[in-house]
Structure 1
Amino acid sequence: MDEQEPRIRPNGLPEDTRPFVAPCRHIEPLAPLRWLKKGWQDFRAAPVPSLVYGLVMVAMSYAITAATWWFGNMGLYLALISGFVFLGPILALNLYGISIQRQQNQTPTLGKSFRQVRSCIGDMLTFTVIMIVVFLVWARAANLIYIFYPVNEWHLENVLLFFGVGSSVGAMFCAIVFTASAFSLPMIMDRKTDMVTGVITSANAVLRNKLPLFIWACLIGLCLLVGLLTAYLGLAVLLPVLGYATWHGYRESIDATEWDARFELPPESSE
């Protein structure tokens, strides 16, 4: 009985020769500014689904704040807001779908993007479980910080100590999440690959391009700060722009051609 022939991919190589990690390209330090520009262009090209997504995120932010006000716990507020940031990459999957539709010269809609997200629901749920575990660990850490450094009396020394310790611990968690999620979920939406490969690819790209990705992380933090300072209203625009920019950052940074496209995209262009 003849042995089954190995499956041949479009690039002519057998499927079992596929690498474990997608190679990354060199990223210029100011490339994140170009990603933001392209994200803004995507927002202008699809304003209705982008604003609907953004307003839903604003409503969720208000719900988190209302819950915190009801329970009167600053530690809970910081934990929930941080958790919102942790889960942000997952919530941005629909935005990646809209970017894919634009590259296919389709009229972008959230309905189509939901159907696209369903095609990678398994890996998305795996990543969600991992992020929830990280979030729960951070929530416990935030509550412990609040217990050991209470700010009920709002003395300046206590407030500075609380936010200093909390920010340091939170930055550590955010760095881990950012490294794992910077490009992993866009890769999952783009290519027929698994979550482990996506996370390793993302971590490899971040570690090999520390300066530009640090700048990108700072830009994300700055946009979120602007959203907070505008009573969350700025997030209605900034979050969709960041989601689209992340997609363009992935397309410029990761060479994932060894994997079959999940959706039929045009060949990558050197933009």
Structure 2
Amino acid sequence: MPKVSRSALKKTADVVKSLKARPARENGGKKTFQESTQAVLSPLTPQMIIVELRGKFNTQKNEIEAKRMKKYMRDQFAYIGLWTPQRKELSSEALSSCSEFNQVQLHQLLRLLWEEPEREYQLFALDCMYKYRKVLSGHSEKDSLESLMVVKELITTKSWWDTVDMLASKVVGDLVAAHRTAFTLIMDEWIQDEHLWLRRTAILHQLNYKQKTNQQLLFKYCLMCADEEDFFIRKAVGWSLRNYFRTNATAVKTFVKSNKDKLSPLSKKEALKHA
């Protein structure tokens, strides 16, 4: 895996610096009345959401299922033992209550959920991020950048496919799509990062772009990681190509054929799964 080049780091640093220095709003950088109202802290706090979830989740704790789930995830995470429909039903009120949070409070909630030992709390965080993705995006590139940095923390903490794949395709993908010129430079850094799951995220962030996919960037990232032996990288390369195959089958076939000696058997198999 090539190391991050100085030029790539400088480009990303320049983007981050410029976004942080840029006024977040028009009208001379002044807050509108609506934004000022949103900035007022809600009587509801992120800590209260955690307490509510804990109370609801523990009423249906299932140690047998918890052990099975933990084993399935290679004993990496503890579980309460709730299946998805059950968890969503128990957390529906808490999820609706999160509509009161502004971006700062939402970031705080996500971090708190990630600190909880049981995996169900991180899965609730995914539900929360998807439902309130507009809050994550905020009102400016600077707001979106702050959310992207929070998501980076989550990707690199308690990392596994069950959280990373949704964060990559639904959260990072949306944030980058809204600010492609600036944030693609950050993806250029992530694809060279030593952290496996950041590289996987960079490969998968265009997964749902369809006609808006930057084909050159997709193929570039796939080739940059083509020589890696890790299963999750090889799978990500194939998966990203397979999804783009639905939009441009000819381009994917040509790419795979031209790079058949570089791509792994798994990546090629996944890429042409529907050929």
TM-score, normalised via structure 2 length: 0.24
Higher RCO, 1 vs 2 (CA within 8 Å, ≥6 residues apart): 1
